[in-house]
């Protein structure tokens, strides 16, 4: 099959190059190649990544947004960016951090009572079912302020942020257990646990400072982390780093590496050698082996664990006494620890070593059962000797960091930081298979579903720390570079460079796009952050403004129950009194795909993104009298610019009029008749489009069915406006009659717009004529 595909690609390229028979196409491709200096290899790479208009990607990658605190979604192999997901950082485009609903989510992420508007995101991880990515949720950690966020792949929105109750930094998160039972998050820089304000010096580092490893409980049904059902292992003040959860035979166990087990405390300004020297003087550091399954049972039975900071802490004594915690020396200053898809091997790469080390879980397990330890660390934790646990070590290159797995058995890829390359190697045979230079200094690397029990192979992405000369220079701060590599053959082939112009994306995880089933719209009136019906849900025709005052304080609150639909915001005028707290709740009545409305207002820091069905709210204090225009920020229809209104903030005791008396234009019966004639003609166009659609098997296309439903709604609104127009015409109020006739026409235009979209869709998807 693969061979066939390659044959096909080759023959396409050959014929495009005119190597067979000459054609017009061949000449032009050669011209382009010559003009742009492209080789045949380039053309082949282009053909492997180029995705024609309307085309889809086979995989979706969820990348950390680094210090910008979001997640970036892109497609593979096209490397086209599809979305930024606001996570720890406000993301105005999505109203994230601007609407009341998402502010509640960001509020969950307050640390020590402070609002944080950034995050240092590192490792995204998908939920898993039986060790496979299931496409339901993504987690990501914040290193600087130890937090984990939950993103729901139903709508690609952040739903929850939890703050670690103990740590003051955490790099090693998020890593999930095979059924998403737990999410692992390890501390990085040891510190006295949160809440301890007594220790304010580094004098008794070994006694006062601690590391740790939290197992956050995830409730897959609810899609939320349950802090009260989570537990944390107290660990020595080694700098715990990354983790991976066991699977298959190693299911129930977790593996966490560490650096600076020297417990060195720097102080270069006092003449002490710096951390970098003191933290790398020993030859080995420790891999921590934890039994989460047994720990969970003992905690549930109330046998171990004490409540600290409202969470469960397992002390080192308890962990040791119950055989829950062991150490194994591992190569100096390691970085990645990765469990093989079959769960039998644990690969560790030591940044300061040129080897990847392969540990054998069966050997580790045996050592634990036999109590075969070489000693204890200063905290009494048993140490399993390297020679007892090690399967082999393989020279992979200088500065190995992370490992990923292929769909092919025993094949792993390791990122080599110092040598700037990817090494492909066989961890069963212990031999290097291929090496590919990359540009430059690769950090993480990632294969398709490469963290799961069944990696999908095909592509590898190298997340390079430096871009240097890869792109047009844009000042001293360069983008990062994600390099796409074809791993389907024996030799790795570099295909594409994608600049990531947002922070340092540490890690990225990819999933088969077919596993994702994102929603097109919300059920009308949904608070998307809770997934529940919003108490502010408003239906068409039920819009209202409610003002309530507190007698004791004299303070007033105005709730605006509003709606949006192409192309008006109801209400179009909001009158409040200076000093009122104003809360504008908008429900987007649209059902049509991609018909999002926005809402922005002058000088109030208000910016909402209201997707079809969503209810979003903006609350502010109208503390200054004046006129505040508001409008829709998404170009939603031809009359999008007219999707506008005014907030009028009137001084206390204002006695002026609320009536609108000025008319910019006056209309006559002739104007009205002319408009009605246009409307009748427009109806003819609509009828012909409807004829086209209904003559085809449009019901086989859900997208078209949705468009037709929307068009029918719009026509219903048109009917209503038509009636209003006729009523005013009867009274001889030509201005209002004309206005409503125009609105009737507006609804017709929207109907036609939907109809034409449906028609184009049917044409492009080869719909069949049925009548
Ligand atoms: S990091 S380059 Cu995972 Cu934060 Cu390794
Ligand atoms: Cu709604 Cu523009």
First to last CA, the chain: 41
pLDDT of 26 above 70: no
Q: What percent of the chain has pLDDT over 70?
A: 97
Asked if 404 contacts 416 with a C-beta cutoff of 8 angstroms, the reply is no
Q: Which segment of 226-235, 612-621, 652-661 scores lowest on mean pLDDT?
A: 652-661
Which residue has a Cα nearest atom 1 of ligand 2? 597
**289-314 average pLDDT score:** 96
**Backbone phi and psi for residue 74, each to the nearest 5 degrees, phi listed first:** -135, 165
Which numbered ligand comes closest to the C-alpha of 586?
Answer: 2
Give me the sheet containing 390-395, strands edge to edge.
Answer: 334-339, 345-350, 355-360, 390-395
Kindly give the residue spans of alpha helices, DSSP state H, lying in 437-558: none
User: Could you tell me if 355 and 396 are in contact, meaning their C-beta atoms sit under 8 angstroms apart?
Assistant: yes
Rounded to 5°, angle at Cα 663 from 660 and 669: 125
Mean pLDDT, rounded, for 475-498: 97
Query: Which burial class, exposed, middle or buried, applies to 200 when counting CB atoms under 10 A from its CB (0-12, 13-18, 19+)?
Result: exposed
- Ligand 2 centroid to residue 115 C-alpha, Å: 32
- Pair of tokens at residue 715: 């026509």
C-beta 747 within 6 A of ligand 1: no
Q: Which mutation among 65, 506, 508, 509 tests ligand 1's pocket best, with the greatest number of atoms within 8 A of CB? A: 506
Q: In this structure, which ligand is nearest to the CA of 170?
A: 1
DSSP per residue, 241-282:
EEEEE--GGGTTEEEEEEE-TT-----GGGTPPPHHHHTT-S
Average pLDDT over residues 723-743: 95
- The alpha carbon of 695 is separated from its chain's Cα centroid by a whole number of angstroms, namely 42
In angstroms, what is the span from residue 657 Cα to ligand 2's centroid?
29
pLDDT at 158: 98
**Pairwise pLDDT comparison (591 vs 495), residue with the higher score:** 495
CA-to-CA distance for 104 and 619, rounded, in angstroms? 12
Q: What is the pLDDT of residue 660?
A: 85
| Residues 176-201: tens digit of each pLDDT | 999 999 999 999 999 999 999 999 99
pLDDT digits (tens, 9 = 90+) for 27-37: 799 999 999 99
Categorize the per-residue pLDDT at 733 as very low, low, confident or very high, splitting at 50, 70 and 90: very high
Report the distance separating Cα 63 and Cα 86, nearest Å: 12
With a 6 Å cutoff on the Cβ, whether 351 touches ligand 1 is no
For residue 579, the model assigns a pLDDT of: 97
Give the pLDDT confidence score for residue 3 in this predicted structure: 44
Which ligand neighbours the alpha carbon of 243 most closely? Answer: 1
Q: Which atom of ligand 2 is nearest to the CA of 597?
A: 1
- The answer to whether the CB of 401 is under 6 A from ligand 1 is yes
pLDDT at 18: 45
d(CA 102, CA 99): 6
Question: Measured between alpha carbons, how far is 105 from 614 in angstroms, rounded to an integer?
Answer: 16
CB of residue 445 inside a 6 A radius of ligand 1 = no
pTM: 0.93
The pLDDT of residue 294 is: 98
Q: Is 514 helix (H, G, I), strand (E, B) or coil?
A: helix
The structure tokens listed for 395 are 């020279």
pLDDT of residue 413: 98
Q: Which of 335, 350, 461 to mutate to test the pocket of ligand 1 (most atoms within 8 A of CB)?
A: 335
pLDDT of 23 above 50: no
Q: What is the pLDDT of residue 14?
A: 45
CA 506 to ligand 1 center in whole angstroms: 5
pLDDT for the residue numbered 9: 43
Which residues does residue 253 pair with via DSSP β-bridges, in sequence order?
291
602 backbone dihedrals φ, ψ, rounded to 5°: -55, 130
Residue 10 has a pLDDT of 44
Confidence band (pLDDT; 50, 70, 90) for 25? Answer: low
- What residue spans of 93-193 are helical by DSSP H? 100-108
For ligand 1, whether the C-beta of 84 sits within 6 Å is no
- What does pLDDT average to over the chain? 94
Ligand 1 pocket check for 162: Cβ under 6 Å: no
Q: Which residue lies with its CA nearest to atom 2 of ligand 1?
A: 443
Ligand nearest to the CA of 144: 1
239-253 pLDDT per residue, tens: 999 999 999 999 999
Angle at 675 between CA 672 and CA 679, to 5 degrees: 135
Percent of the chain with pLDDT over 90: 89
- CA-based angle 487:442:433, to the nearest 5? 40
- State the closest ligand 2 atom to the C-alpha of 598, by its place in the atom list counted from 1: 1
**172 CB within 6 A, ligand 1:** no
Four-CA torsion 295, 300, 303, 306, nearest 10 degrees: 90
Ligand nearest to the CA of 588: 2
Q: pLDDT tens-digit profile of 313-354?
A: 999 999 999 999 999 999 888 998 999 999 999 999 988 889
Beta strands in 191-223 (DSSP E): 211-219
C-alpha 162/C-alpha 108 separation (Å) is: 7
Evaluate if residue 664 carries a pLDDT over 90: no
Quick check: 13 pLDDT over 80? Answer: no
Higher pLDDT, residue 488 or 659:
488
Of ligand 1's atoms, which has the minimum distance to the CA of residue 123? Answer: 3
Choose among 42, 76, 758, 31: nearest CA to 462. 76
Outline where 483-592 has alpha helix (H).
Answer: none
Asked if the model's pLDDT at residue 1 lies above 70, the reply is no
In the structure, what pLDDT confidence band is assigned to residue 713 with cuts at 50, 70 and 90? confident
């Amino acid at each position: 099959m693969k061979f066939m595909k390659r044959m096909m690609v080759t023959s396409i390229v050959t014929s495009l190059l005119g190597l067979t028979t000459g054609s017009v196409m061949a000449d032009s491709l050669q011209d382009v190649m010559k003009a742009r200096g492209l080789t045949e290899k380039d053309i082949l790479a282009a053909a492997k990544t180029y995705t024609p208009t309307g085309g889809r990607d086979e995989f979706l990658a969820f990348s950390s947004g680094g210090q910008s605190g979001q997640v970036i979604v892109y497609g593979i192999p096209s490397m086209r960016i599809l979305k930024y997901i606001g996570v720890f950082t406000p993301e105005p485009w999505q109203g994230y951090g601007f609407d009341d609903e998402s502010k509640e989510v960001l509020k969950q992420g307050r640390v020590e009572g402070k609002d944080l508007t950034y995050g240092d995101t590192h490792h995204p991880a998908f939920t898993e079912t039986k060790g496979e990515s299931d496409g339901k949720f993504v987690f990501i950690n914040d290193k600087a302020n130890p937090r984990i966020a939950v993103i729901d792949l139903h709508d690609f929105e952040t739903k929850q942020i939890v703050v670690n109750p103990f740590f003051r930094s955490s790099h090693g998160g998020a890593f999930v257990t095979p059924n998403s039972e737990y999410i692992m998050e390890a501390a990085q820089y040891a510190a006295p646990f949160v809440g301890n304000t007594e220790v304010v010096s580094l004098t008794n580092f070994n006694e006062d400072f601690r590391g740790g490893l939290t197992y956050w409980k995830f409730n897959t049904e609810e899609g939320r982390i349950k802090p009260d059902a989570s537990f944390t292992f107290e660990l020595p003040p080694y700098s715990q780093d990354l983790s991976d959860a066991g699977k298959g035979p190693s299911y129930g166990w977790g593996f966490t590496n560490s650096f600076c087990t020297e417990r060195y405390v720097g102080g270069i300004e006092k003449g002490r050698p710096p951390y970098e020297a003191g933290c790398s003087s020993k030859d080995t550091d420790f891999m921590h082996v934890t039994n989460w399954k047994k720990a969970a049972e003992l905690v549930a039975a109330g046998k171990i664990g004490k409540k600290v900071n409202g969470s469960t802490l397992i002390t080192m004594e308890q962990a040791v006494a119950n055989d829950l915690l062991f150490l194994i020396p591992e190569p100096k200053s390691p970085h990645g620890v990765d469990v093989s898809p079959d769960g039998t091997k644990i690969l560790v790469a030591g940044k300061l070593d040129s080897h990847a080390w392969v540990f054998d879980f069966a050997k580790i397990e045996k050592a634990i059962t036999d109590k075969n330890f070489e000693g204890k660390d200063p905290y009494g934790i048993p140490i399993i000797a390297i020679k007892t646990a090690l399967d082999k070590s393989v020279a992979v290159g200088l500065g190995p960091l992370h490992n990923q797995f292929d769909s092919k058995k025993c094949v792993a890829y390791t990122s080599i930081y110092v040598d700037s390359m990817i090494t492909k190697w066989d961890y069963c045979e212990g031999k290097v298979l291929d090496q590919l230079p990359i540009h430059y200094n690769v950090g993480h690397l990632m294969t398709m579903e490469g963290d799961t029990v069944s990696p999908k192979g095909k592509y590898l992405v190298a997340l390079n720390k430096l871009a240097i000369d890869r792109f047009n220079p844009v000042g001293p701060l360069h983008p990062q570079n994600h390099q796409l590599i074809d791993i389907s053959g024996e030799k790795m082939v570099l295909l594409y460079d994608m600049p990531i112009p947002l922070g340092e994306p540490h890690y990225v995880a990819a999933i088969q796009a077919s596993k994702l089933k994102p929603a097109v719209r919300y059920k009308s009136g949904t608070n998307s952050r809770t997934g529940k019906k919003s108490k502010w849900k408003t239906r068409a025709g039920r819009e209202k403004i409610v003002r309530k005052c507190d007698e004791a304080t004299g303070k007033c609150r105005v709730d605006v129950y509003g709606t949006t639909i192409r192309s008006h915001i109801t209400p179009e005028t909001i009158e409040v009194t200076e000093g009122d707290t104003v809360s504008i709740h908008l429900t987007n009545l649209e059902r049509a795909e991609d018909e999002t409305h926005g809402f922005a207002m002058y000088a109030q820091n208000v910016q909402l993104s209201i997707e079809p069905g969503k209810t979003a709210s903006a609350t502010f204090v109208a503390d200054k009298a004046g006129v505040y225009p508001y409008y829709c920020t998404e170009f939603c229809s031809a009359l999008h610019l007219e999707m506008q209104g005014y907030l009028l903030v009137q001084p206390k005791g204002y006695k002026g009029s609320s009536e609108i008396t000025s008319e910019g234009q006056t209309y006559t019966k002739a104007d009205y008749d002319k408009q009605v004639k246009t409307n009748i003609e427009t109806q003819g166009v609509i009828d012909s489009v409807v004829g086209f659609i209904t003559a085809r098997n449009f019901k086989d296309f859900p997208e078209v069915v949705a468009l037709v439903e929307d068009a029918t709604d719009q026509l219903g609104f048109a009917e209503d406006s038509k009636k209003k127009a006729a009523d005013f015409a009867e009274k001889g109020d030509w201005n209002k009659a004309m206005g409503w006739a125009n609105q009737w026409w507006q609804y017709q235009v929207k109907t036609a717009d939907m109809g034409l979209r449906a028609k184009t869709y049917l044409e492009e998807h080869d719909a069949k004529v049925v009548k």
